[in-house]
Structures are given as structure tokens and as C-alpha cells.
Amino acid sequence: MKINKINGLNNISSTKTNTTEKTNKQSKQKEINELSNIYYKPISFGRTVAEHKSWGAQVNPKTKEVTFKILTYPDTKKVEVTVEKKNNPKITHTYTLANRGSGIFETKAPISPEEVANGDKYYYTIYKGNGDVDKVKDPYSFRQEQLLGKSTIYDHSLYKWNDENWYKNNKNRISRKANNENGLQPLRAARIYEFNTASLTQKGTFEAAKGVIKNLKDIGFNAIEIMPAENTYSFNWGYDGVDKMAPSEHLGGPDQLKELVNYAHEHGLNVIMDMVPNHLGPDGASLLKTGPYIKGNNCFGESFNFEGENSRYVRDYMVNAALNWIENYHCDGLRLDMTKFMESDSTMKQIAAEINYHRPDAFLIAEDSRSHISANSDGIYWDNPDEPHDKRVINPLKVFESGEGETEYQHTIAIEDISNNRSSLGRLGFDSEWDFNYFHTLKDAVYGVINMDEYEKACYCSQDRVKYVMSHDEIGNFEGSRLIPKLMVPMLHLNDNITLNSEDIKRAQAYKELKGVSYEEAIRIISVQKAQFAAEKLAIMLQKGMLDKYDTTELTSYAWKKEANNAFKRDVLLPLGIKLTSGINYAAVKTMYKRSFNKNKMVMARTFATPGPKMVFQGDERADLTPFRFFREFDSVKKEDNLYIEKGYAPGKSALKESTMGNIDYSKEGRTNILRFKNLVKDLNKINDENPALIKGHLIPENTVKHQASQVFANHAVDNESANEIYTITNFASISYPSSTAAQYYIKFPKGKWVEILNTADKRYGGNGAYNNNSIIESDGVNNVPVNLSSESTLIFKKVE
């Protein structure tokens, strides 16, 4: 056997196979063919539903009896659970748990509701082998009202769901098991609205979020993705949670989250919960004291012991955290944050296998970001520089792939032992993943440095992956500004026209020390950040109408125009640190805002016209300019000096306030622009609904058009079953066709008759409508045909014959 290590996994390929082995494999293959119904049997790790639901403080929905179960260190001598009555904390009951071995302790028998009931507080006392005695909260706490205090017994059965119709083959429901017979939607049909609960509304709660999502179905979205709701010390993006089963009390707690999910289902929206399997936040984490959950730290915080000593039940812990959101909160799917930093593909496989086995409707999306790995149908994988994704991530787990292992025990061993290739160990079993590569190639294109070959590859490989123009990361991980101001920076040459004051120089010095870069590099980064902030301020001021008084369009006197321009320099440019010699005036800001607005429309339409799942971040469905800063508040971190040095702003309450939707008082023109962009997104959603080629269809590579010199790109999506065909053209360049310098654009369409169904230059979306193609375009599939192309626009055509 030859073993090649790739990315920490073993790639096993036999160097020679004898006749007996061949005969055995042929015989086994025949058996597999005869048992095709078993071939796709979901893989199980042998964990029953009862096992999954046995951990923590469990309330029997019928008898209301309570049981407790916890994982701690294997050498622990004794574990007690102490319960305080909710109405009288002076009344307590302490129970000694039975030692079941391997660090598992649980109640010897169910406890009556007269003694222990919903709402009571409790904690564990762990008597460790080294003599230490620790009081800890429950790692399986389903409600955690006090971050480092006692856990609260929470009876999930008390909430009365009324989403029964959602599960009766509702045509809006997205499911891994979707097919033509059950009428459900495949994940490829997902059009996801991602939001952060804390900043979505002024109140920042699950309850308040209902007021926003009730309109999402009207715009055409069919899914919401809630950024992590795991309990934390205070407000943040959600990625610093420490209670993996308990929704944040700051956002409204478990009942409000259930209300939100229930409400979403009533309005035809699928719910995706973002969860964090790779680390714990800095405040309120007690797993290290509790048991063998933690192995050390990664770049985010405490990381989990998924593959070290005593790790079996730690993997189960994360599986149960995933199942919690699906079982107890009726989430339709999960998005797992930065799975590569779990450093455990075996845990990823177990999560996928167990959810697929017990909840086969639920779907999984990974944010993995590994690339350039391919995998074949046997689960063998290898480095592939031409593959922009790690193909293992979204290949489904299958049984009998190599013709071995028929019992559930053998299936389990095949998955858990990563040196054994019985059952597609090259696969991770997720349904989709966030598409970093698509974003980066699109980003290059929108900034005018498109590589047609790379972008074609990105589109083709993105058909099963979640694609987006911007996510919370692409906005917030930098200076926090939206796409429009980001695009205005190079258009206004702001990077070359920023002046640094003494505070900026001081921060550059600190940045040099913090990041270990040269002073010149630190100065460059601080200047770039300041340019971004300046562009954001200019865009917001423009859309609020604050710059209208500097408009010189209708001024007839040279002296008046000069005075207006001087006032603009004094009142606007100077406070933003923009050089007075930059040449930037009101007209330039308005023109470049308009161009950036058009580019935003262009890439949004281009993304929605690519087959497969799509996602939009809060506010981007209307080109809102509200920033999304990196905000958080910790008890253990009293000062965030390093983050201020790195980002140019403090990440506390002021950053949250800036990032909260609804803060900008737009002018009439600003509100009109919002309506125009919302119209575009609404129509793009409608086109996806009506055209299977953009859902379950596929791109035809031979019909892709790549005109590198003119920066025109087109591709062809087809759904064979419905014979639906869509052809999308994007003009990334700033030249319109026809214009004073160019005739109509000639491009080869696939054979047939085509009608334009969307053009981002349409008046409805803020264009002038001059470049619409209002007549049927007929193509023989060989010769180029003329079309009208507005600069920086996307056109979508549908085949009618």
C-alpha cells in the first residue's frame, strides 16, 4: 500500500491487486448492484435519537420528570447536581449522579416535577481525580440567563409550534430530499437573506427581527440565515458564543427565537442557523474546567478536542449542538462557520452523517475555504491546481462505495477510522459551501481586472455553492463599508489624495509594532482605511441630501460656482482628510456614486443569473449604505486598543450603533435609489422562481463567451428536463454599445430565438433604458448578432423558441 498525506488525511491507493482481490470485488459489486436500495443507505454512527436527547437537563414532555447527564474527565470521583427552585432559591436539592464510565455521569432515576421543574436553576459540582472541586454550568444548558452563573432548566415541549403545514410537502420548503414527486425545493433553489440580529433593528432582538423578515418573501427571498445566536456575554457578531445549545439572552432567549422561526415558516421562509463548531469566545467559557472538551487555542479562541484523548463524546457534543437547532428550534438547515479550523474532518463527517440519518430533510452548508483538492467517486482525492474548491466538502457520504462493510458497525468504523477507505473517507458529506472563489474572482472583475478564464471557472464550479456579492465578512472584516463606497475609492483616486493627521501617524506607528510590518506598509494601510471611510462618508452625505447645496449645475455665475466649490472643499473635503487639490467636487461624487451603483446592480444580476444557491447580506437587497463594523463587548477584555489600531475605530457600542439598520435618514433621491435597487433584486428573485435553468440547471461551457479585450462575458444555463434556457451577458467595461465611439456589440448567442427579460440599465432600476433590447434576437448559433450593451451592466435573455 502506498500512503500519501494530503491536508492531514490519508490518500490510500493500492499499488498492486491480485486475482483473488479482483474476484472478490467483482462479486461484491454484483451484490451491490442487486442491493441498490441499500447503496445510498444513510450512514449512522450508531447514536440513537434517545442517545442524542439524553444529555443535559432533559424534561420528559409527558411526565415532566427531569434527568441530568454530563461529560466530565474520566478520572472524576463524583459529580453532584444542585437545583434551586425558581420561586425560592433558598430551597435546594442536591443529587449525586451515577458514574457510567468514560467521564459520563447521569441521574440514577428520573426526578419528579415536584422536586425539579422548568425554570429552576442548577449547577454541577465536579470532584476531580486530582482533588480539585469545581462548580460549573451545564455544557448542555438549553437556557443560560447568567453567563457564568447557574443554568436554567428549560422544557422545550412547552412551546407550542404552529408550523405543521410547513412540513407537509410545502412547496417553499428547501430539503436535501427534494424531488419532483414531493414538490420540495432543492438547496440549489435557495435565495438566502443573511442577517445579524443585534444590528438588523434598533431593538436588536429576535422579536424585532420579525418586522423585517415579513417583507422578505415579497421581495422574493425563500430563506433567512441567522448569524450565530449562541449565548454570549454581550452584543457581537455572534461568533464568540460559549453556550452551544442556548440562544443569547441579549437577543431574546429561546422562546423568542422559536417565535422568529415559527414566524418565518408562516411567511414561507426557510431558516438557516449559523453555528460555530471551531472555537469558544473569551467570556463565559467553562468547558475546560468541566471536561475534556478543549485541546488548546486556535486563532479565534479555545478550540475543541475533537481527535485527542477522550474525544469520542466531544464529537458527539458538537453533533448534538447541531441537532439542537434542527430538532428544538425547527431550523431547516445549518451553516457551519470556518470548518477547516475545526481541524477534524472526522467530526465534520459525523455531523453530516448523523443529521442525514436522523433528519434527512435538513441541509448543511460549510464555510470551509480549503481549495485545490479533487475527489473521485471512490473517495480517492488528490491535489488539483485547476479545482478552485475542496471537492470533498459537498460530495455526499455513501455506503458500500468500495464494496466493503455492510453492517452498521462496519459503516461506523469506516467513517471514524480515517486510515480506512471503506466508505468514501475523501468525502465530508455537506450539501453546499460558501464560495470564496466566486467572490474573489467577481471582486477582481468589478474592479476592472477581470481574468475571463478564472471567472468562467469560478462560475462553473459555483453551481452547487452559495455565491454572493458581499457577505458580513467581506463588508465587516475590513473597514466595514458597503460595496458602493468601496468602489468609489479608486474612481475618485482617494488612495492618492488622503492626508494623514497626527492621530493617523500615531496609529500607523502602533500598527507597525502590532503587525510586524514596515512603517511604509503601515502608512499605506492607514491611508487606504482612511480613504474607505472618506468614500463612505461622501456616499452617505450624498444620499442624505447633505451635499445638494454644493451642486453647481444650475449656477450661471462663475463666481457662484467658484464659491460653491470652495465651500465644498472647506466643509466636506478638509474634515475628511482629502487633499484640496484632488479635483473632487459635488459633480464628481455624484457621478462616481452613480457608476458604483450601476456596478453593484451589474454584479448582483450576474450572481443571480448563475445557477445554484445565492445569498444577500442585510441591506444589500436595497443598496443600503449602513456600514457593518466589527462590534463586540467583552467583560474580560476591558480595552480594545489593538482592534482600534487595526481597524481605525473602537469595536464597542459606537460600532454597533453605526452598524444598526435604519440609522440613515435618506433624502427623496436616496429613497428612490433604494426602491430602484430593491426592484432589481425582486425581479431577479422572480426570474429565478420562473426559470429552472437558474436553479437545477447547468452551464454549457462551449457556449461561454469570453471577450477579454472588451471585458464582455456571457454564459448559457440550461435545464434539460424543462427545456428552459437562460443566456446572460455582462459588460464589465465602461463603454456602451452603441455610443459615439462604438457601434452595437456583436456576440454569439446559442441557437434559437431570445427575448431580454432583465437589463440592469432599465429605467425601473435607475438606468436610462436606452440600451434595452426590445425585439426578439434570433441566432443560428454560429454567427455573431448585434445587441445593445450599456456600460457596466448585465442582461438576461430567455430562449422562447
Q: Is 448 helix (H, G, I), strand (E, B) or coil?
A: coil
Q: What pLDDT shows up at residue 401?
A: 41
Cell 487595526 sits at which residue? 646
Residue 591 CA from chain centroid, whole number: 33
- DSSP class of residue 408 equals H
d(CA 317, CA 239): 18
10-residue block means of pLDDT along the chain (801 residues)?
Answer: 27 38 49 37 80 97 98 98 94 97 97 97 97 97 94 98 90 92 94 98 98 94 98 93 97 98 97 97 94 94 94 96 98 97 91 93 95 73 82 76 39 38 60 96 93 95 96 93 98 97 97 96 97 98 98 92 95 97 97 98 98 98 98 83 91 95 97 98 98 97 96 97 97 95 95 98 96 96 97 98 91
Contact 196/618 with Cβ under 8 angstroms? Answer: yes
CA-CA-CA-CA dihedral for 477, 480, 484, 487, to nearest 10: -60
Provide DSSP, 143-198: --SSTTS-EE---GGGS----GGGGTT-TT-B-TT--TTT-PBPGGG-EEEEE-HH
Q: What pLDDT shows up at residue 425?
A: 47
CA angle 356, 360, 365 (to 5 degrees): 60
Side-by-side strand order, sheet with 98-101: 56-59, 66-71, 104-106, 98-101
The predicted model scores a pTM of: 0.92
Q: What pLDDT shows up at residue 337?
A: 98
Provide DSSP, 767-793: S-STT---S-EEE-SSS-EEE-B-TTE
Could you give the C-alpha distances from 481 to 472, 489, 531, 790, in angstroms and in order?
10, 11, 11, 27
Contact 522/509 with Cβ under 8 angstroms? Answer: yes
Of 416, 438, 395, 534, the closest CA to residue 47 belongs to 416
d(CA 217, CA 219): 5
Does residue 581 come out as left (phi exceeding 0), alpha (psi in the -120 to 50 range) or beta? Answer: alpha
d(CA 604, CA 344): 35
Q: What pLDDT shows up at residue 399?
A: 59
- DSSP class of residue 202 equals S
Contact 584/578 with Cβ under 8 angstroms? Answer: yes
How does pLDDT run across 15-56, given as a tens digit for each residue? 334 455 555 545 444 443 433 333 345 677 888 999 999 999
CA angle 171, 616, 734 (to 5 degrees): 125
Q: What pLDDT shows up at residue 213?
A: 92
Of 800, 744, 719, 746, the closest CA to residue 180 belongs to 719
d(CA 232, CA 248): 6
Cell 472538551 sits at which residue? 293
Provide DSSP, 269-293: -EEEEEE--S-B-SSS--HHHHSTT
Contact 793/765 with Cβ under 8 angstroms? Answer: no
Q: What is the 3-state secondary structure (H, E, C) of 560-599?
A: HHHHHHHHHHHHHHHHHCECCCCCCCHHHHHHHHHHHHHH
